[in-house]
Structure 1
Amino acid sequence: MNRQEAAETLALEAFVWVLNSDFLDVFLNATGADQGQLAALAQDPVFLGAVLDFLMEDDARVIDFCDATQRRYPSVMEARADLPGGQLPHWT
């Protein structure tokens, strides 16, 4: 599995986690997606990057996701860098 495939896998796990969390409505509002589009969007690497961006907006979300999936906390940021748009410079 290459780096992008691994990143997509992690992002899909994050997507499922968001779908089953109390954050679903917040996520849908933030992305502008509706529930009827979610299956198709899950196949889009750009959308999967947006899922990880959503997680990284709040440290508590990253911690909760990583604890639930037994992943290292930096894994979300590392995966984001391997998806489209993740290579952009961070000015903060």
Structure 2
Amino acid sequence: MRKSAETLALNALAWLAGQDSLLAVFLGATGATESDLRNRAEDPEFLASVLDFLLMDDAWVLAFCQAHDLPGAALMQARAALPGGADPHWT
């Protein structure tokens, strides 16, 4: 499950990189740089942060899932398999 979650998160990162205005929001919100996108693409914690970011807005989740023909719950399921995903969420 973890490997498939990382693959989905990599796809999410690639999708995010193609969304210019949303990518700028991600970079600004996380403090990540464009070089981080390349250098940390295989880091499960960074990939988790990509999913955390997308999960903040239902419209972003739906746009990604529709672009990849995935069910709406796919991002949350992948996030649960990455570092910190089993932690309780209070929101």
Q: Which runs of 4+ in 1 moved over 4 A?
A: none
Report the residue type matching 2:37 in the other structure.
L
CA distances 1:38-78 after superposition (whole Å, capped 9, x unpaired): 21111100000000000100000000000001011001000
Unaligned ranges ≥5, structure 1: none
Q: Which residue of 2 aligns with 1:78?
A: 77
How many equivalent pairs are there?
Answer: 90
Name the CA distance, whole Å, in 2 between partners of 1:7 and 1:36.
22
Q: Which residue of 2 aligns with 1:63?
A: 62
- What is the TM-score of this pair, normalised by structure 2? 0.95
The share of aligned pairs that are identical, in percent, is: 51
Name the CA distance, whole Å, in 1 between partners of 2:49 and 2:57.
13
Unaligned ranges ≥5, structure 2: none
Q: Which residue of 1 aligns with 2:33?
A: 34
How far apart are 1:37 and its partner, in Å? Answer: 2.2
RMSD: 0.8
Q: Which residue of 2 aligns with 1:44?
A: 43
